[in-house]
Amino acid sequence: MAENLQIDEILNQKRIGDVITKAFAIFFFPLGLILLIIRCFIGVHAFLIACLLRKSNRIRSIVMRFMCCVLGIVVRKFGERDESAQVLVSNHISILDHLAIDLISPCFLPSIWDIPTVIRWCFGYVDLGASRGRSELVQNAKKLLAETRGQPILAFPEGEITNGKRALLKFSTWAFEISDVVQPISITVSRPVPWNFSVSRIAASWLADLVLFFAIPATFINVEYLPKLTRNEDESIDEFALRTAQTIATHLKIEVSNFEPRDVAEATKRWKRDQFERRNQAGNSLSSGSSGNRLQNDRQLDECAMRIKQSHPSFHLSLIREDLQKTRNQAATITNLKLGKIPKDLNPNLDGKINLDPSSWKSIFSSRKWQMIEENRSKYLQKDGAFVATYLYDLYHSYVNRNYDFENFVEQLVNIDWEKIIRRSVFSGKCLIDLLKIIIKIRKGVE
């Protein structure tokens, strides 16, 4: 087992690895484009033939293999197909793996992948109801094999395309539940030297992969049949799957990892996010050198909203945050505040029914979050306001207690550190009115 192996190592990060290939790619681009256009037309014909001649037809196999050579997909067969094994198990490294195997020995590929029905029909995929669950899939597969003896089922238990250079993904076991006898296949892909482009890449679309197949003069897909494997009596399905994976891995001189398709999906998502951020950053340094600091993630935006709130307390936090989401720039949002583009009060749409759709909960969370800060803020300030009121009240009483010594009252009033009180932002209009009322009361008393 491969310890401390990173998921990124088993996926291609780039199409082009070295500088020479890169330079060559630029040089080759126009030729590749012409080749691509010509092959697109031939491709249509190949597609029609695939539709007209049904499976298990010897002529189809020969014609298709020839057509594929013209299209730049050269399939080479090694080893011998063992007819007694009804399940073929292969590693997965390009989008055309199944095509390559299908050309050599026609087989069924259960469509557990999202492919359009038309294409599925044309290439003779079978729908075994994988979407309705695994037991259904295994049941249907067994039935299919019983009905049509001769044509095997092809499975890619890895479930995702990898680069095939470091390790295989963990094999899923459904294929091994269908039959106790499987024939492993190892697939490798090579391209002639100057066209050293990877067959697939992390997060690549199948169309991009296909275009590259057509634009490059030739791609060799080497399909090697390995001797069939039979499940031992005391062996569990998991162990059998692992043994098969190890057989293929040993043949490819790589390892078997513990990663699952889910990890690949995770890595793909991460890769896309990184790309997006990198592009954003590049865009920023180009477009806005001066206004600069664009805020990237939610956390920065939250912090910035709170900073703005400090100096513009009359605006509701969630409105500031909303505007920041659009501008992604502190200065721009402050300008918007000053120009009155942001309303001061929030429309109360918080207390409604809560949608049962979990994807809407996150926005509930953030609106609750800002509401919570706003509420506690005003409570805190009220408490503080009460503090000033108490202070004034005490002052008034000291005036009463000191036999209505107005001089002393004014002196105390002057000695209050008003600057501090105001800086603490607790001295509101109401406090001022209270204070004036006290003074009026006192004046009346004096006169």
Partner 1 sequence: MAGYALKRLMTEYKELTTRPPEGIIAAPIDEDNFFEWECLITGPDDTCFANGVFPARIVFPQDYPLSPPKMRFTCNIFHPNIYADGRVCISILHAPGDDPTGYESSNERWSPVQSIEKILLSVVSMLAEPNDESPANVSAAKMWREDRQQFEKIADSLVRKTLCLPASEL
- Residue 154 region by backbone torsions, left for phi larger than 0, else alpha for psi between -120 and 50, else beta: beta
Span interacting with partner 1, options 11-19, 59-67, 332-340, 355-363, rule CB under 8 A: 355-363
Minimum CB–partner distance for residue 154 and partner 1 (Å) = 28
How many C-beta atoms surround the C-beta of residue 267 within 10 A? 20
Interface stretch with partner 1, choices 284-292, 325-333, 372-380, 405-413 (CB under 8 A): 372-380
Closer residue to partner 1, CB minimum distance, 180 or 302:
302
Residues 279-338 that bind partner 1 (CB under 8 A): 298, 306-307, 309-310, 313, 317
Contact at 8 Å (CB) between 88 and 152? yes
User: Where does 180-218 show beta strands of DSSP type E?
Assistant: 181-190
Residue count, binding to partner 1 (CB under 8 A): 30
Q: Which two tokens stand for residue 240?
A: 């059998």
Decide: is 369 part of the binding site for partner 1 (CB under 8 A): yes
User: Using CA atoms, how far apart are residues 320 and 173, in angstroms rounded to an integer?
Assistant: 52
Report how far residue 14's alpha carbon sits from residue 230's, in angstroms, rounded to the nearest whole number: 38
CB 200 within 8 A of CB 96: no
Residues 187-216 binding partner 1 (CB under 8 A) are: none
User: Measured from the CB atom, is 294 or 309 closer to partner 1?
Assistant: 309
**End-to-end CA separation in angstroms for the chain:** 97
Q: Measured between alpha carbons, how far is 287 from 433 in angstroms, rounded to an integer? A: 51
Q: Which token pair is 166?
A: 């470091």
Stretch of residues binding partner 1 (CB under 8 A), selected from 13-21, 44-52, 213-221, 366-374: 366-374
Q: How far is the CB of 309 from partner 1 (least distance, A)?
A: 4
Amino acid identity, residue 21? T
Nearer to partner 1, 221 or 317 (CB): 317
- Residue 379 interacts with partner 1 (CB under 8 A): yes or no: yes
Using the minimum distance from each CB to partner 1, give the nearer residue, 99 or 373.
373
User: Which x/- pattern, by CB under 8 A, does the window 382-411 give for partner 1?
Assistant: -x----------------------------
User: Which of 306, 334 has the CB closer to partner 1?
Assistant: 306
Q: Rounded to the nearest whole angstrom, what is the least distance from the CB of residue 214 to partner 1 in the complex?
A: 34
Q: Could you write out the DSSP letters of every residue in 60-81? A: HHHHHHHHHHHTTEEEEEES--
- Binding pattern for the stretch 245-284 against partner 1, x by CB under 8 A and - elsewhere: ------------------------x---------------
Residue 183 in 3-state DSSP?
strand
Q: Which 3 state secondary structure label does DSSP give 88?
A: strand
Provide the minimum distance between the beta carbon of 305 and partner 1 in the complex, in angstroms, as a whole number: 9
Who's near 331: CB < 8 A, 6+ residues apart? 291
Residue 163 Cβ, how far from partner 1 at the closest point, in Å? 24
- Distance, in Å, from the CA atom of 167 to the CA atom of 241, rounded to the nearest integer, reads 15
Report the residue number, 361 or 393, with the smaller CB distance to partner 1.
361
Chosen residue from 279, 326, 338, 424 binding partner 1 by CB under 8 A: 424
Residue with the two structure tokens 């990892």: 257
C-alpha count within 13 angstroms, C-beta hemisphere, residue 430: 11
Between CA 225 and CA 187 the distance in angstroms is 9
Decide whether 14 or 379 has the Cβ nearer to partner 1. Answer: 379
What's the CA gap between 203 and 280, in Å, rounded?
18
- Minimal distance in Å, beta carbon 377 to partner 1? 4
49 is a site residue for partner 1 (CB under 8 A): no
Stretch that binds partner 1, among 113-121, 166-174, 277-285, 360-368 (CB under 8 A): 360-368
Choice between 230 and 378, CB closer to partner 1: 378
Cα–Cα distance, 88 to 244 (Å, whole number): 11
247 in Cβ contact with 184 (< 8 Å) = yes
> Given the rule CB under 8 A, which residues bind partner 1?
269, 298, 306-307, 309-310, 313, 317, 354, 358-359, 361-362, 364-365, 368-369, 372-373, 376-377, 379-381, 383, 420-421, 423-425
